Amino acid sequence: MSKTKLFDIPKIDDVRGNLSVIEKDLIPFDIKRVYYLYDIPSNAFRGGHAHKDQKEVLVALSGSFDVLLDDGQSKETVMLNKPNKGLLIDTGIWRELSNFSSGAVCLVLASDVFEESDYIRDYDEFLLSKRT
């Protein structure tokens, strides 16, 4: 799936604890919004949408969760479980987050502020958008 990419976030090992750094050259867009998901029940799911213009990077700051990625032709699931791994999701990719472990925290770095009109929340509408 060419519009997604799992990448390393630099990690500085230290006996006192590790440090990871996200700087502007690591993310291929200007970050305009940062939010995080937490206290998610293990049987719940988040996402269930695609973006027309917005790009995102997801990071599991704590715990783990699965990200189902769907480009309208193929699907793949990526498990995020390390705070030094980022998942770039480009425009036009349906995503569903599930299987949250206890204490999971998902950090999202977004290329734009919240704009409801940028969301495709209906899966059939998403598939239709991929055909045009």
pLDDT on residue 81: 98
Residue with tokens 């029940």: 41
Q: What is the CA radius of gyration of the chain?
A: 15
Residue with tokens 């699931």: 77
**pTM score, two decimals?**
0.94
Q: What is the pLDDT of residues 28-81, one digit of tens each?
A: 999 999 999 999 998 999 999 999 999 999 999 999 999 999 999 999 999 999
Half-sphere exposure in the Cβ direction for 68 (13 Å, CA): 15
pLDDT on residue 45: 94
pLDDT (mean) for 93-105: 97
pLDDT on residue 14: 94
What distance in Å separates the CA atoms of residue 103 and residue 63, rounded to the nearest whole number?
6
What distance in Å separates the CA atoms of residue 44 and residue 42, rounded to the nearest whole number?
6
Active site residue 51: no
Buried b (16+ CB within 10 A) or exposed e, 53-81: ebbbbbbbbebbbebbbbbbeeeeebebe
Q: Minimal CA–CA distance to 56: which of 41, 44, 46, 64?
A: 46
Greater confidence (46 vs 1) lies with 46
What distance in Å separates the CA atoms of residue 29 and residue 34, rounded to the nearest whole number?
13
pLDDT on residue 129: 94
The catalytically annotated residue of 33, 46, 49, 82 is 49
pLDDT on residue 125: 96
User: Does 84 have pLDDT greater than 90?
Assistant: yes
User: 2: pLDDT confidence band, cut at 50, 70 and 90?
Assistant: confident
- As given in the structure block, the two tokens for residue 39 are 């206290």
Domains of the chain: 4-131 (2.60.120.10)
Q: What is the pLDDT of residues 101-132, one digit of tens each?
A: 999 999 999 999 999 999 999 999 999 999 86
